[in-house]
Structure 1
Amino acid sequence: MFEAASTAVTRPLLGVHAKLLGMAVLWGASWPAGKVLAQSMPPLTAAAWRFAFAVLILLVWMLATRGWPRLSPRQWASLALAGAVGVFGYAVFFMLGLQLVPASRAALVVTTNPVFTTLLAVWLFREHFNGRIGLGMLMAVLGAATVLTRGAPWHLFAGALGLGEWLLLGCVATWTGYTLISRGLLKGIDTVTSTALGAVFGTALLIVTALLLDGRAALAAPLVWTPTVWISMAFLVVGATVLAYAWYFDGVAQLGAGTAASYISLVPVFGVSSSILLLGEPVDSSLLIGGALAVAGVVVMNRARR
């Protein structure tokens, strides 16, 4: 009887862990998929269509599970800020950076997201900090710097980074800002609602900017997409944007934020492997050594934080 009860408890939890692993695969594979879009159309047009499709699904998800929220003017303003930074800002840097940098390197550079988020959270919110967290941060930054500079991190001090690398650092900055906005300003709003409504504001900015810079061709872009582009877009919308978020939120609800967040350390691993397998991107020692160091640093940070 005890074994039967234990099995009944364990199986659902195994399903949740499987979903979190799937989330890491989907988010990792979003880098080569984004690379396909970045090379097939203007980056702002690609970002606008991706989130336009995703917003429709997110809104249906929100209305079906939460209904339309009653929010204060301050909460609406916070959602607008979150969308401007975390959707519009991040999407612009993401697509522009992928035009210039291999997807495998880009996926590893963003492992520094939790580093800068932790530093600012310690300063702004007095969150817990210890020596092991500091060690993990140092490892992650050194690993990302090794990947970014192709094995010569001292070049960071010589101003040797190209435009693509700076754009990827913009991804780090905007995601850090989005996380801190969510931590400080979006209290009282559930994650599904904040994701859906924040995406609405960010998508509106993307559409306006794409129309201003890319013109009417942005509206007609889907008419000339190849099957490969359609598949990449569908994957980014349904897989990496909607399904991965659903699995992540389910993991947070059933296992806790710390356990769910620890799976994010696997995202760059799947990002690099999928970029190599799907796009045939080259592998060198700086990618392997820097990537291993960056991922190990994130793991150390997660364990120390718990």
Structure 2
Amino acid sequence: MTTSSLPTRRAPWGVHLKLLGMAVLWGASWPTGKVVAQALPAFTASSLRFALAFGLLLGWLWAVHGRSTCRALSSRQWAGLALGGALGVFGYAAFFLLGLQHVPAGRAALVVTTNPVLTTLLAAWWFGERFNRRIGLGMALAVLGASVVLTHGAPWTLVTGGVGVGECLLLGCVLCWSGYTLVGKRLLGGIDALTTTTVTAGVGLLLLLLVALAVEGGTAFAAVRDASLGVWLALVFLAAGATVLAYAWYFEGVKALGAGAAAAYISLVPVFGVLFATWGLGEAVDASLVLGGGLVLTGMVVMNRARR
């Protein structure tokens, strides 16, 4: 074995470890978000998170591409970025923290993991993307698992008004992220992932700030002033860890292993979400969470394998 071959043989393990770290960071974002949601108004907390993240992303963007990267964007691409920021940042972040004010973090993490189900269904309908019986089976398992988690083991109550406000808000997360993904496919072709994430974060931040000032006002500023060190550390983690660092590791994995292999690691996010919520927040793990979570994870694995 030559010396030059060593980095090539070791590199994949490093990529896999980073993707595992990404899943850990995204899983930890749910109990961490719960801490923030209980201490600060939702829109103000989201504004602080994305203000920190946007600053880091902007520095990263300039270091990689310089200041000329946004000048080459067309008006269509700017419109797509604005819509993506409204859905994927503003909408998702708002529903994320509003939902966590009503639902335990571990349960919320499992529900939102069904994002790929709606996205796959809409992409097959609108764009003619691949869809087969195995993908349909995976979707059915994931939806059944999510309904078990949502209703605490009584999925039939979905048609009898048994779902609360928090669960409905979490479904808003799913709708916003699916919309963001589909907008990206239709309008954001030719824009690199770092530019897309940075600009959409800036658009979402502006909307979050406007709504925070209009809806939460002076009360929100008082809550921020009185926030504990633990809350600020949670915000820094959400911005630097769960947003910027996890994003960097994810796209490094996409580049090295391909989108399908990298996306498969997302199936681990709810596992870590439940573990951290149980360990850090003392949330109970009941039978419906275990059963529903198992069905969701099985469905995600079936869908990913069927695509490949």
What TM-score results when the alignment is normalised by the length of structure 2? 0.96
Q: 2:29 and 2:294 mapped to 1: Cα distance? A: 20
Q: 2:4 and 2:66 mapped to 1: Cα distance? A: 36
Matched, 1:171 2:162: no
Aligned equivalent of 1:21: 20
Change (3 A) 1:220 1:193: farther
Matched, 1:247 2:249: yes
- Given the alignment, which residue of 138, 141, 150 partners 2:140? 138
State the shift of 1:66 in Å: 1.8
Q: Could you say what secondary structure the match of 2:125 adopts?
A: helix
Aligned equivalent of 2:44: 45
Q: 2:58 and 2:221 mapped to 1: Cα distance? A: 22
Aligned equivalent of 1:58: 57
Q: Could you say what secondary structure the match of 2:190 adopts?
A: coil
State the shift of 1:159 in Å: 2.1
Gaps of 5+ in 2: none
Q: 1:291 and 1:6 mapped to 2: Cα distance? A: 41
State the shift of 1:8 in Å: 3.3
State the shift of 1:14 in Å: 0.5
Aligned equivalent of 1:302: 304
State the shift of 1:222 in Å: 3.8
Q: 2:128 and 2:61 mapped to 1: Cα distance? A: 32
Q: 1:83 and 1:30 mapped to 2: Cα distance? A: 20
- Given the alignment, which residue of 171, 193, 197 partners 2:199? 197
Conserved? CA contact 2:40–2:224, under 8 Å: no
Query: Counterpart amino acid of 1:10?
Result: R
Q: Could you say what secondary structure the match of 1:104 adopts?
A: helix
Q: 2:7 and 2:47 mapped to 1: Cα distance? A: 44
Q: Could you say what secondary structure the match of 1:216 adopts?
A: helix
Q: Which moved more, 1:209-218 or 1:141-150?
A: 209-218
Aligned equivalent of 1:104: 106
* Deviations 1:7-31 (CA, angstroms, capped at 9, x unpaired): 4322111001100000000000000
Q: Could you say what secondary structure the match of 2:152 adopts?
A: coil
State the shift of 1:214 in Å: 1.1
Query: Counterpart amino acid of 1:98?
Result: L
Q: 2:214 and 2:45 mapped to 1: Cα distance? A: 14
Q: 1:79 and 1:278 mapped to 2: Cα distance? A: 36
* Deviations 1:79-99 (CA, angstroms, capped at 9, x unpaired): 000000110000111110000
State the shift of 1:130 in Å: 1.1
Matched, 1:33 2:32: yes
Aligned equivalent of 2:285: 283
Query: Counterpart amino acid of 2:60?
Result: W
Aligned equivalent of 2:79: 77
State the shift of 1:184 in Å: 1.3
Aligned equivalent of 1:10: 9
RMSD between aligned residues: 1.2
Conserved? CA contact 2:135–2:307, under 8 Å: yes
Q: Could you say what secondary structure the match of 2:283 adopts?
A: coil
State the shift of 1:216 in Å: 3.2
Give matches, 1:109-120, under 5 Å: 109-120=111-122
Aligned equivalent of 2:240: 238
Give matches, 1:267-282, under 5 Å: 267-282=269-284
Q: 1:221 and 1:54 mapped to 2: Cα distance? A: 21
Q: Could you say what secondary structure the match of 2:113 adopts?
A: helix
- Given the alignment, which residue of 211, 215, 218 partners 2:217? 215
Number of aligned residue pairs: give it: 305
Q: 1:221 and 1:57 mapped to 2: Cα distance? A: 24
Query: Counterpart amino acid of 1:289?
Result: L
Query: Counterpart amino acid of 2:27?
Result: G
Query: Counterpart amino acid of 1:187?
Result: G
State the shift of 1:111 in Å: 1.7
Q: 2:163 and 2:5 mapped to 1: Cα distance? A: 54
State the shift of 1:221 in Å: 4.5
State the shift of 1:217 in Å: 4.2
Q: Could you say what secondary structure the match of 2:240 adopts?
A: helix
Q: 1:217 and 1:64 mapped to 2: Cα distance? A: 38
- Given the alignment, which residue of 225, 228, 231 partners 2:227? 225
Q: 1:195 and 1:147 mapped to 2: Cα distance? A: 31
Query: Counterpart amino acid of 2:54?
Result: V
Conserved? CA contact 2:50–2:205, under 8 Å: yes
Query: Counterpart amino acid of 1:37?
Result: V
Gaps of 5+ in 1: none
Q: 1:284 and 1:204 mapped to 2: Cα distance? A: 40
What TM-score results when the alignment is normalised by the length of structure 1? 0.97
State the shift of 1:67 in Å: 2.3
